[in-house]
Amino acid sequence: MPSPLVVQATQETGRYQTATTDALAAFGSRQAAQTAAEVVVGTRTAELADLAAQIAAVRAALAAVPMPADGDPLLVQLATLLAALHNKQGESLTAQTLLAQAKASTARASAELTRAQQQLAAATANEARVKAEDAERLAWVAALSQPPLDTLKADATAALTAAPFTTALARVDTNVPAELRTRARERYVAQRARITAARAYATAAEDRATQEQADAEGASGDVAQKTLDFNRAAAALRAYVATAKERLDRAIALAEGVLASPQLTTQQKARVTDTALTTPGITAAGIEKDRDLAAAAVAAKQALYDDAVLAALVDDPDTDPTTAADVITAQTALTTAVGDLTTKQGLYTPAVRADLDKWEAALPDTMWKQLAAVEDARAILTELGGITAASLTGPLTAAESALVLKLDAAAARRRAAAILQDTVTERGAGLDAVLSALQDAQFSATRGDLT
């Protein structure tokens, strides 16, 4: 069954096909009406010319009569012809007004036909694009239920509890002191958290921008907002289908690489576990951890402050955002966090850092790389093990339905706006025709020519 977006695009094409057919018929009908009005104007013009010629002939005859009494019949005939002329002038004026209105109506029909043809071309192209993109997405969805993706979640989950990952993990745990290993993993997790926070920070601004666009632009802005949501969901599905198996293989390869790497020698193990290094090193690691947690808190509070400032400026672009209540609250929290970081940074003295550096330097880079490889493998397998087909297709389906609703609403608003604009143009042309004949119309109406 076609997806909602395909149905919507197909319906739009059908709507504009109907509109084009109707507009073509309307244009032909109005052209015929205009032609008929032109014939009436031509007839009235010829009739006026005939009456004018008759009147001229009677007046010439009057000028030639020898006695005034001989002109009485001609005067009666002239009065009759003048009355007929006035009536015909009224009919001519009415015919000219109707012709102007017919021309305006034909012009509107022509504009409607041109627009319908353009909209049909655009809708046809859009339908083709939507169908092609939908076919691609359907292929992605189908891939989720086929090897290797159909078992990838289970494969990743199983890999976390089986060799080579568990063997590589044990290798690292055996060679790296627990406290140093723990601190390294905390740093690894913190770095990933910073990346996640940076993405969220950028996404929040993008979301706010599209929301403001929706508020400012109405239906078209709503479409932009829902399109963004849909594209994000589609991108997540596409990325998973394209890279999930590759990432799983990479995680396994990382673990295998650890097992193929050299272990610490007896001397290296003795060095890295020497209490002369571990005792001050463990203390320094705890101080560094407190400093890093305080720095993370500052980053989080800074993001909240930035969002509060942005919200204040969006609400009133001309305001001083620092006077907004939410900004003041966020500033207070940020100041407190900065103060705590300053304190924690003060405790992390050069001497403390030197103690930690010496301990870390006792572990060869080859083992640091093995530790990083294990953490990379763990992160990949954990992430892949948490992704289901429904977690990918559910948001996509919901976003598509929401987008279709906004597309339909925006299309309806565009059609309504076009109707109104055509009406404005047609009525404006009619007004121009009336105004151009206003003086003659007023005189003819006063004289009783118009009926």
The tokens for 53 are: 């010629």
**pTM recorded for the entire structure:** 0.82
Res 101: pLDDT: 87
Angle, in degrees to the nearest 10, between helices 350-361 and 275-315: 120
* Terminal alpha carbon distance of the chain: 63
Q: Is the dihedral of CA 275, 279, 284, 289 positive or negative?
A: positive
pLDDT at residue 394 is higher than 90 = yes
Res 30: pLDDT: 94
Summarised one tens digit per residue, pLDDT across range 373-383 is: 999 999 999 99
Question: In the CATH scheme, what is the code of domain 4-142+411-447?
Answer: 1.10.287.620
Compute φ and ψ for 347, nearest 5 degrees: -75, -25
Among residues 237, 167, 206, the alpha carbon closest in space to that of 398 is found at: 237
Residue with token string 């007929």: 84
Residue 185 · residue 375 · CB < 8 Å: yes
Q: From residue 234, how far is each of 136, 188, 196, 370 by CA, in Å? A: 10, 29, 19, 35
The tokens for 206 are: 């993008």
Q: How far apart are CA 242 and CA 98, in angstroms?
A: 66
Residue with token string 């790497």: 261
Q: From residue 186, how far is each of 46, 189, 297, 346, 372 by CA, in Å? A: 100, 5, 15, 21, 12
- pLDDT classification of 171: cutoffs 50, 70, 90: very high
Domain locations in the chain as residue ranges: 4-142+411-447, 148-407
- pLDDT classification of 208: cutoffs 50, 70, 90: confident
Q: How far apart are CA 317 and CA 429, in angstroms?
A: 42
- For the CA atoms of the chain, what is the radius of gyration? 42
Give the other-Cβ count within 10 Å of 161's Cβ. Answer: 9
Cβ-proximal residues to 307 (8 Å cutoff; 6+ apart), any chain: 204, 330
Res 8: pLDDT: 96
- pLDDT classification of 209: cutoffs 50, 70, 90: confident
What average pLDDT score do residues 301-313 get? 95
Among residues 332, 280, 322, the alpha carbon closest in space to that of 301 is found at: 332
Res 442: pLDDT: 64
Angle at 19 between CA 18 and CA 21, to 5 degrees: 65
Coil, strand or helix: which one is 271? helix
Question: What amino acid occupies position 132?
Answer: A
Angle at 257 between CA 256 and CA 262, to 5 degrees: 115
- pLDDT classification of 449: cutoffs 50, 70, 90: low
**Per-chain mean pLDDT for the chain:** 93
Strands in 141-181 per DSSP E: none
Residue 434 · residue 35 · CB < 8 Å: no
pLDDT at residue 306 is higher than 90 = yes
What average pLDDT score do residues 255-282 get? 96
